[in-house]
């Protein structure tokens, strides 16, 4: 049978054999603790990024709506400009016609005046 000194030697031998393993386990526990901290920080970062993305999506939606509204406003302005240009073109055409008509009337009056002068010159 084993006496106390044999058991003490076996225990010492096992402790010596397990010492590097215990040291590795201790280091692994430290590493795992560090990893847990890193994972926690990453979760916080991801949560912040999700909030940022939600904000960016909201702002992008707002910008799209503003661009759409600007497009509608621009179309409305273009339509008004087209109407104004059409009206001005019609006015210019009407004025042109009036000028032609006045030139014709002037020409007729000029001819009548010349005829009148010729009649009075004979008298």
pTM of the model: 0.52
The rounded mean pLDDT for the chain is 94
Average pLDDT over residues 42-66: 97
Cα–Cα dist 69/77, whole Å: 12
- Residue 6 confidence class, pLDDT cut points 50, 70, 90: confident
106 vs 30: CA distance, rounded Å: 110
Q: pLDDT > 70: what percent of the chain? A: 99
Mean pLDDT, residues 31-44 taken together: 96
pLDDT at 123: 64
Tokens 């940022």 belong to: 52
Q: Which long-range contacts (CB under 8 A, 24 or more apart) does 114-117 make?
A: none
**Segment 26-48 mean pLDDT:** 96
Q: What is the DSSP letter of 123?
A: -
């Amino acid at each position: 049978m084993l006496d106390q000194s044999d058991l003490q030697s076996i225990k010492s031998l096992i402790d010596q054999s397990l010492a590097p393993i215990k040291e590795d386990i201790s280091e692994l526990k430290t590493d795992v603790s560090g990893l847990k901290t890193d994972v926690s920080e990453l979760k916080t970062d991801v949560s912040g990024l999700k909030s940022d993305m939600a904000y960016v999506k909201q702002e992008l939606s707002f910008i799209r709506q503003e661009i759409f509204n600007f497009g509608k406003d621009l179309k409305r302005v273009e339509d008004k400009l087209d109407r104004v240009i059409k009206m001005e073109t019609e006015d210019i055409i009407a004025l042109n016609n009036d000028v032609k008509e006045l030139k014709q009337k002037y020409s007729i009056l000029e001819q009548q005046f010349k005829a009148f002068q010729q009649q009075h010159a004979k008298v």
